Structure 1
Amino acid sequence: MILDTLSNAARYNSVHPLFEKAFAFIASSNLDEMEEGKYVIDGDNLIAAVFEKGAKTQAESNEKFECHDKHIDIQVLIKGKESIGWKPREKCTEVKGAYNPEKDVSFYVDEPEMYFGMEPGQFVILYPEDVHSPMIGEGIIKKMVVKVKI
């Protein structure tokens, strides 16, 4: 997991071959004005989703304590304040249901080991080994999630 501000995003371009293109898309977008929906950046290699929803309680979010096998998430907070639960996958012990290959998601019964906060202008990079429960907070949260194919 990597947590940083968008002003430092270029530092991570060399971490994955598609990160430069992902961060260029984010930088060239007027995030505050972006409409909700999906944005194809590079075929099925890079797809962004923008949504604005009511925040969840910690318990609600932990019901879908999730991770992905075939994608890295770059989650950018646009509006609101958000907390995200996190635990390394290697420490998770109980899978909740079967892996869904269409949505590239697995859920765990486990609880997060820690929580971290995000403010607008920050992003988090979540790898397949990062089990997470996002959207914890109060009020409305607007964010972009870029799915980076591995």
Structure 2
Amino acid sequence: MAKFIYKMENILGIKYKMEDQAKTSYGIARRKLIKEEELLYELKDRLEGYQIRSKELRMRKLDIMKLKEYTEASEMMKKEIKLQELNVKKAEQQVELARVRLNAAILERKTHEKLKDNAKEIFFLEVAQTERKEIDELVSFRFNNPTN
């Protein structure tokens, strides 16, 4: 029996590699997003600590220098939080872009797999047709040339 050989197997292999690369890129983007979100959480936590200490200082004997220090630290944290929020948004956009690329790679791979399946089906239909033709010729030959 004839062996099926898909002519575009190398392209399908490339599609598998492209999908793997897209998965890797997506994973890296997701890890970066998680890291950025954790950093944002830490900054917000530090800001809350500065605000609590500042409030405590206002409740006790007034220490202008400490109060000013915590107020400035709070303001600086607010700026860092805004910058970190931008980093988180940027990381989210990168994740979305990686997800879109991954979906495109998966779609291309599935398309080529379907093409391979169709080519395989056509190949086996052609083999079956050739075998039927050979059997018909053999039967016809035996019918027309009896050896008895």
TM-score in same-fold range (> 0.5)? no
Q: Which structure's residues are more often helix, by fraction?
A: 2
With structure 1 as the length reference, what TM-score do the two structures score?
A: 0.16
Q: Which structure's residues are more often strand, by fraction?
A: 1
